[in-house]
Structure 1
């Protein structure tokens, strides 16, 4: 048989080979006024010598911890002799294999695997859980959750499952403020469709929870009660742990406010994970890695996740480069207590905001402050412009992370004071606000 990529085969397929006879098309030169002289200078002030890795682009950004970027130590990890360039599809990426084993042990689960994103991890995990049952089926989840609201309908379109949402009521406090409540077993029971239900309804097979959700930590006792009941009904459970690292770093999960307790965080991480068949965790939010999440679970479930990952184009070749940076994030950010430190900053700035007369739209237990702009009659866009004038980026949901510079906290305080002036007098520093913002706040639960 003639080789497919022989010159003759190429002519047969009408695809000429790249050769002297068939050169690449000429690429027009860039106009002179658009060219940049990249000749390196010895000056330390030359902007061509500075890199975005010396000072994080997120150093003054409170919009989200998704804006965190790889640190110098993450970038240095790419050149370590322990970082493999092996092909992960063929399981030859040694440090990826080792990191997967390490994460499985950390969560006290049999297996773990890399996925490109938390959204992919949730989709593949739910498919793996649902594949244990014949269809049709439904997944029960919070109507505020990322899977329900912000994952492009993948649960229905790709996992072919019907989402059934429970609604967490808003709680009104004695001081007149309102905040989101918390999931309860009764909420899940109310929407769960069991085998005894009318045949018109899609049977519930999986419960998907999110922790944290809107910065709130779902207590371990609540999660255990709900997941135990679901399992007693023959169902399975999944945790969207996009900010799970934050949850187990919180005071609500057993930490104290004066000293970071690494062992306690690991203990709580395992206790939570024990309630779920599959768990996804993200490394590209507060941990600073550029790409990547992980799924942990049983060997059978992880094999199914890996198969579905292949179907959705999520396999990768030199994943070891990403695994190296994710491991640095795990060690230097979560295990070292940097998330815990950011949460202490949240407490300080929350108190400052309240002392100014500001209210909270939602209570947070971790790295967020939900500013109630509606009570001030101020739009998110105007607040963003006020913050910008002080040199920080912000939405009504403030998200704190370890890459925020020290001076940025002072600038945020100034912006908060400006906001109260604007709410009362319609001016900032005695001048009307001219909004130039074109970016809307899009964050949902993430």
Structure 2
């Protein structure tokens, strides 16, 4: 990843490499194991049965003002409690509707037993869950910069009565676990859900509301849901996904993804994977994308705005799908066309391209942006005009 086009001194890079090597060695000595969605159990039906926001809900979400941010998002299904779509009503801040008290503190004032134990990002991730899939259903209106909707997370779980997720400065309206409204506590960047009935799997739906913002990351990089003139894009590396999406925001936990993104009519929403549906509503359009290759949270791509999705043909066995602002498609064509040659050149050297598809996404961001978002690398439109098609190949190899 490059940021702002600034070169990093060699000494600093060597120091970073040494730090990362030491962290990897420490994890190896401690027997820390990264997790893969390949070892996860089948999806639970509760996640698949959660209903998406209706067209009317999405239209409402895209017409609300920024001042209405404290209002709860529309109910998206999965709960029979009529209070689930309202903000918390108890005196305890961050506690679910109808509960008498906040969940207990599992750490007991000491070291958090739920932490993933990452020495570089000790606050990120949970050691007691293994996410299988995320079902993300959001509505976004660039006029208000309000993000409104839900995420349903299907996961394997250790036998504990609490689930801990990463969640930044957002308004959590309700949490539904396995079809039942449950208590939760949102403190800082941590969302504690429970008490629950211990089970080997859970499906947890979180309904929330957020505002587009550059949240900033631990190393000081710009991350989050970034508003643009006509839409938005997200930057998640290394720890920015949970600033706009409740999640297990650690790269060791990969999962399958489904995105259902509603935007005002005339705009396009783009995410990782394959476009499976485009659905017109009342003044809105909903775009549905599915990523079946397991993916970490920091690799999520989500764009909204005046984009065109370009069919780039096939490079060998790899379908190519590119994205650019509609006004930029013609001048970006040389970059799209060279992708085929680059894949064919590198495959004999490094083996077959490992994912189901590839492409380039060119957004209206600051100059110097280059991000290896899974299956479609992300670049800034400011850097590409000028006939340097070779500049895009390094993210193909990331």
Q: TM-score range by the shorter chain?
A: under 0.3
Structure of higher CA gyration radius: 1
Q: Per residue, is there more helix in 1 or in 2?
A: 1
TM-score (norm 1): 0.26
Q: Per residue, is there more strand in 1 or in 2?
A: 2
Greater RCO, 1 or 2 (C-alpha within 8 Å, sep 6+): 1
TM-score (norm 2): 0.28
